[in-house]
């Protein structure tokens, strides 16, 4: 075939998409020394969403990792020829709740060096003289925020990539992705087909913006994004009319309570926002994206009716908007995800990476995204915790375009709303329900949602047995019920029954299963049949990639139980390391098993009469039982620190097993409980939660989980921990560290606060002697120990009993470092 574009036959990395995302990944790959990179763009660079971006670069996001990525972007943009204007950014607070949010953000920012300042309404006006201070209670100000020219930025990144050896081909459409799926469970990319012929590649990066779902389909990979029309207006220049202004540049201004943002544009303004009635765009009759194949360099029709509320709000905040002429209303499509976070990482097809769904902050994010993606591609793993952006967080339920749309719509329309901890999204519910769901509904369950599952947070019917005076102050008391304390106490004093059917359950089977798991787990899981092991799987940095229990069910069959949201992630981590042959099979069996936990001092009294089988098997062991009429796999484990079992049965028996346990428990005052009580119970016992207390950025030693680590090594991450022969030789290709486990610089510590009504929610700064030394990973109230508990990583030298302060909504609450666990330190109640 004629190749007018003279494409190479092969390249190590092919990037699809010449927007800011693709250009930044190419740039960063070149920086890392990756020379063999080809970027393919079906039209001109920037001709997707990038060219019509408003160009604001705000750094403050919902998590440390995300915000750090934005900070990376700013650091990079300051060095590029991209029209960068470091004008600073203001965010107003106009309600008491928003003021609390700002206080919380300002405190949080201090823990990782983001110079976010709290300013008054008057100070905000001095910085942005066009604004009215009506209703403004306070604001935050970030001097390093700014804006830029999206096309210049993309051009600068592309040029940097070219200088580093990348080859960029415009007007080259990718029409196919070749996948080798000859080994089940081990599909991997081989190359792309383009309109000018094929290119072989080891790595393909789908940086297709709103086209990413369509590109993913070429390889059978679901990228759950939805194109939405997004608008902003541009005014005529007028600012020379404003008298007395001192500054060269206006900062950007966000007023989330009015749903609007501003930035200067020449002598005029750009103003946009997030309307309450969003406009998904280019969906077919199945609500699947069907973007016209020639949609490049184009905008959508102005949609004034949809923008009306935003426009009216803008006049309230900046009265001059009433007088000046609007020159253009820009309406352009952009890719949104169902949770408003980026969609990054390697897909289930090995070598096929995705970096898309930038949710209208792709310019702000591109610098950080490019770095993270390039590292991920070159090193095989991201070098920081990016779980909340990881494509693996989307389970199979997001295969449905209709469900994806419902979630994305809700997220878009509530974009600027405060997300209180414990707030539950409503769209698309109920989707996944346990076999005992009807029982929960009939008994007053307050449901939460996780990964599509309806899960009981608490039963409001238990509220009268609780104590309203324990309601935490402020936000922590918003999504709260006295029922939580009642369920907690009942579990400690009598027994609690919890539906944990949503747990992700994986099976690893085959003659190679034990060897694979031993190579991945830091603990020894290849023990006798029936043994249960609590373990982590580590990345090569020694960070905690997965955290779960493994049960050896048969010689060649292991069962893993992990968090509701983590199944997809953990399974793909294991598959990625599994040999590409038939010796090991790894699959998700979540739907096959209901799981009910029966815990508490009377658990044995409740279960014993229901079974002929002896219950004398030891803690951390499994046995097959018949409970009433139901075949059950009973695991003697606990996440609350009480005697008891997790009882797994085939799903079709679930309703019956729940009913049987409930009826048997009546005479023992059994209480049905929810996840909020579990959380309070586990905090008293110091049980860690992955993605909060422990993440890919912390090692088991830092996390206080050194007791899990096999000292003879032989697992991924061992040499980074300094254990095992590999570390001594420094020779398994990992970041070797000889000489045994090092003393970590930080450690997860338990804090108790002096004021029991001040409850930390996570992310609060912790200080000692006036110096910020850490950040809360998770917190809550312990109804047995009657203390407000928080966990935080603190420098190792901080001693037990050290006085600490935790910033809770702008108030420094005193506390101390406590010995953990706070409850039953010898574990006597469990055994
Ligand atoms: C109105 C509006 C205002 C915005 N304002 C801001 C803002 O102020 N700040 C901010 O940070 N972000 C903003 N954004 C978001 C920002 O513009 C996007 O997040 C970003 O540009 C997305 O970049 P991308 O590289 O992912 O996608 P795109 O720029 O869309 O690039 C994807 C590219 O892939 C190409 N492609 C698709 N299919 C193929 C194929 N088969 N073969 C080859 N190439 C293909 C397309 O042609 C396209 O060029 C705004 C967005 C809109 C719509």
At 582, the pLDDT band (50, 70, 90 cuts) reads confident
- For atom 34 of ligand 1, the residue with the nearest CA is 17
At 370, the pLDDT band (50, 70, 90 cuts) reads very high
Give residue-wise pLDDT tens across range 628-680. 999 999 999 999 999 999 999 999 999 999 999 999 999 999 999 999 999 99
Cis peptide bond prior to 821, omega within 30° of 0:
yes
Give residue-wise pLDDT tens across range 9-25. 999 999 999 999 999 99
- CA of 50, closest atom in ligand 1: 21
- For atom 21 of ligand 1, the residue with the nearest CA is 50
At 244, the pLDDT band (50, 70, 90 cuts) reads low
- For atom 41 of ligand 1, the residue with the nearest CA is 174
Radius of gyration of the chain (CA): 27
Of 519, 514, 544, 547, residue with least CA distance to 531: 514
- Of 26, 28, 47, 50, the residue with max ligand 1 atoms within 8 A of its CB, to mutate for a pocket test, comes to 50
Q: What is the pLDDT of residue 741?
A: 72
Average pLDDT over residues 392-407: 97
H helices of 647-732, in order, are 654-665, 675-685, 718-721, 724-729
Neighbours of 134 (CB within 10 A): 10
At 733, the pLDDT band (50, 70, 90 cuts) reads very low
Are 224 and 394 in contact by the 8 Å Cβ rule? The answer is: yes
Give residue-wise pLDDT tens across range 461-508. 999 999 999 999 999 999 999 999 999 999 999 999 999 999 999 999
SS3 (DSSP) at 624: strand
Average pLDDT over residues 689-698: 97
Q: How far is the centre of ligand 1, averaged over its atoms, from the C-alpha of 674 (Å)?
A: 42
Q: How far is the centre of ligand 1, averaged over its atoms, from the C-alpha of 772 (Å)?
A: 39
* CA separation for the pair 398, 260 (Å, rounded): 30
Q: How far is the centre of ligand 1, averaged over its atoms, from the C-alpha of 151 (Å)?
A: 11
Q: What is the mean pLDDT of the chain?
A: 95
Q: What is the pLDDT of residue 246?
A: 53
Higher-scoring residue by pLDDT: 777, 2: 777
- CA of 360, closest atom in ligand 1: 15
Give residue-wise pLDDT tens across range 39-94. 999 999 999 999 999 999 999 998 999 999 999 999 999 999 999 999 999 999 99
**Where in the sequence numbering do the catalytic residues fall?**
230, 261, 547
Average pLDDT over residues 786-803: 98
- Of 363, 364, 367, 368, the residue with max ligand 1 atoms within 8 A of its CB, to mutate for a pocket test, comes to 363
Q: What is the pLDDT of residue 731?
A: 38
- CA of 55, closest atom in ligand 1: 8
Q: What is the pLDDT of residue 242?
A: 52
- Of 7, 15, 19, 370, the residue with max ligand 1 atoms within 8 A of its CB, to mutate for a pocket test, comes to 19
Q: How far is the centre of ligand 1, averaged over its atoms, from the C-alpha of 211 (Å)?
A: 9
Residues with beta carbon inside 6 Å of ligand 1? 16-22, 40-43, 47-50, 52-56, 173-174, 207-211, 215, 230, 232, 296, 330, 332, 334, 356, 358, 360-364
Q: Is pLDDT above 60 for 739?
A: no
At 456, the pLDDT band (50, 70, 90 cuts) reads very high
Q: How far is the centre of ligand 1, averaged over its atoms, from the C-alpha of 753 (Å)?
A: 46
Beta-carbon contacts of 771 under 8 Å, excluding residues fewer than 6 positions away, are none
Q: What is the pLDDT of residue 45?
A: 98
Please report, rounded to a whole number, the percentage of residues in the chain having pLDDT higher than 90. Answer: 94
Q: How far is the centre of ligand 1, averaged over its atoms, from the C-alpha of 212 (Å)?
A: 10
Give residue-wise pLDDT tens across range 175-203. 999 999 998 889 999 999 999 999 999 99
At 740, the pLDDT band (50, 70, 90 cuts) reads low
Looking at beta carbons, which pairs linking 442-449 to residues 24 or more positions away fall under 8 Å? Answer: 443/672, 445/674, 446/481, 446/483, 446/674, 448/422, 448/424, 448/675, 449/424, 449/425
- For atom 35 of ligand 1, the residue with the nearest CA is 17
Q: What is the pLDDT of residue 728?
A: 44
Q: How far is the centre of ligand 1, averaged over its atoms, from the C-alpha of 48 (Å)?
A: 5
Of 148-162, 209-223, 339-353, 738-752, the one with minimum mean pLDDT is: 738-752
């Amino acid at each position: 075939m004629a190749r007018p574009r003279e494409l190479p036959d092969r390249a190590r990395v092919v990037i699809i998409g010449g927007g800011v995302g693709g250009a930044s990944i190419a740039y960063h790959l070149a920086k890392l020394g990756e020379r063999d990179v080809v970027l393919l763009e079906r039209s001109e660079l920037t001709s997707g969403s990038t060219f019509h971006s408003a160009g604001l670069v705000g750094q403050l996001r919902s998590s440390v990792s995300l915000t750090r990525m934005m900070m990376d972007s700013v650091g990079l943009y300051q060095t590029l020829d991209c029209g960068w204007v470091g004008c600073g950014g203001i965010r107003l607070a106009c309600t008491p709740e928003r003021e609390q949010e700002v206080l919380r953000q300002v405190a949080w920012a201090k823990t990782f060096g983001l110079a976010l300042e709290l300013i008054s309404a008057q100070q905000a006006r001095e910085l942005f003289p066009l604004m009215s201070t009506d209703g403004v209670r306070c604001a935050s100000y970030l001097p390093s925020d700014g804006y830029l020219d999206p096309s210049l930025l993309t051009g600068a990144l592309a040029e940097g990539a070219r200088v580093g050896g990348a080859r960029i081909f415009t007007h080259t459409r990718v029409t196919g992705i070749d996948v080798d799926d000859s080994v089940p469970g081990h599909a991997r990319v081989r190359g792309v087909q383009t309109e000018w012929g094929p290119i072989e590649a080891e790595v393909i990066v789908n940086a297709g913006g709103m086209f990413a779902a369509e590109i993913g389909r070429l390889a059978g990979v679901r990228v759950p994004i939805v194109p939405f029309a997004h608008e902003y207006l541009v005014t005529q220049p007028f600012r020379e009319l404003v008298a007395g202004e001192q500054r060269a540049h206006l900062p950007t201004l966000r007023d989330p309570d009015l749903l609007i943002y501003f930035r200067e544009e020449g002598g005029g303004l750009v103003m946009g926002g997030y309307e309450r009635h969003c406009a998904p765009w280019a969906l077919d009759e199945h609500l699947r994206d069907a973007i016209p194949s020639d949609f490049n360099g184009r905008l959508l029709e102005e949609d004034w009716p949809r923008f009306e509320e935003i426009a009216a709000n803008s006049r309230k905040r900046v009265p001059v908007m009433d007088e000046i002429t609007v020159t253009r209303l820009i309406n352009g499509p952009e890719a949104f995800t169902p949770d408003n976070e980026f969609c990054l990482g390697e897909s289930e097809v090995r070598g096929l990476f995705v970096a898309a769904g930038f949710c209208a902050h792709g310019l702000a994010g591109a610098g950080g995204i490019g770095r993270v993606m390039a590292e991920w591609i070159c090193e095989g793993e991201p070098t920081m915790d990016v779980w909340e952006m990881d494509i693996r967080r989307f389970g199979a339920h997001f295969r449905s375009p209709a469900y994806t749309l419902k979630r994305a719509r809700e997220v878009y329309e509530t974009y600027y709303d405060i997300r209180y901890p414990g707030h539950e999204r409503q769209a698309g519910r109920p989707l996944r329900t346990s076999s005992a769901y009807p029982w929960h509904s009939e008994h007053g369950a307050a449901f939460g949602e996780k990964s599509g599952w309806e899960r009981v947070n608490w039963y409001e019917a238990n509220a009268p047995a609780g104590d309203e005076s324990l309601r935490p102050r402020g936000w922590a008391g918003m999504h709260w019920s006295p029922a939580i304390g009642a369920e907690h106490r009942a579990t400690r004093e009598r027994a609690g029954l919890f539906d944990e059917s949503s747990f992700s359950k994986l099976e690893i089977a085959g003659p190679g299963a034990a060897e694979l798991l031993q190579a991945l787990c830091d603990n020894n899981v290849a023990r006798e049949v029936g043994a249960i092991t609590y373990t982590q799987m580590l990345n090569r940095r020694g960070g905690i990639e997965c955290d779960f229990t493994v049960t050896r069910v048969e010689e060649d069959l292991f069962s893993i139980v992990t968090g509701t949201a983590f199944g997809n992630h953990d399974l793909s981590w294991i598959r990625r390391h599994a040999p590409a042959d038939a010796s090991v099979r790894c699959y998700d069996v979540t739907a096959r098993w209901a799981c009910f936990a029966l815990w508490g001092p009377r658990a044995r009294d409740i279960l014993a009469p229901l079974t002929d089988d002896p219950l004398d098997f030891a803690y951390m062991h499994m046995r097959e039982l018949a409970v009433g009429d139901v075949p059950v796999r009973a695991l003697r484990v606990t996440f609350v620190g009480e005697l008891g079992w997790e009882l797994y049965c085939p799903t079709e028996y679930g309703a019956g097993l729940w009913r049987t346990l409930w009826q048997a428990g009546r005479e023992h005052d059994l209480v049905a409980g929810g996840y909020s009580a579990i959380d309070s119970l586990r905090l008293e016992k110091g049980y860690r939660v992955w993605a909060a207390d422990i993440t890919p950025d912390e090692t088991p030693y830092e996390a206080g989980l050194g007791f899990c680590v096999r000292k003879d090594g032989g697992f991924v991450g061992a040499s980074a921990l300094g254990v095992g022969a590999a570390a001594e030789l420094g020779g398994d290709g990992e970041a070797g560290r000889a000489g045994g486990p090092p003393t970590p610089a930080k450690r997860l510590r338990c804090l108790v606060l002096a004021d029991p009504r001040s409850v930390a929610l996570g992310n609060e700064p912790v200080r000692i002697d006036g110096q910020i030394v850490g950040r809360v990973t998770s917190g809550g109230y312990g109804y047995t120990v009657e203390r407000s508990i928080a966990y935080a990583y603190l420098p190792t030298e901080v001693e037990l009993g050290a006085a600490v302060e935790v910033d809770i909504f702008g108030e420094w609450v005193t506390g101390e470092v406590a010995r953990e666990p706070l409850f039953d330190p010898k574990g006597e109640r469990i055994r």
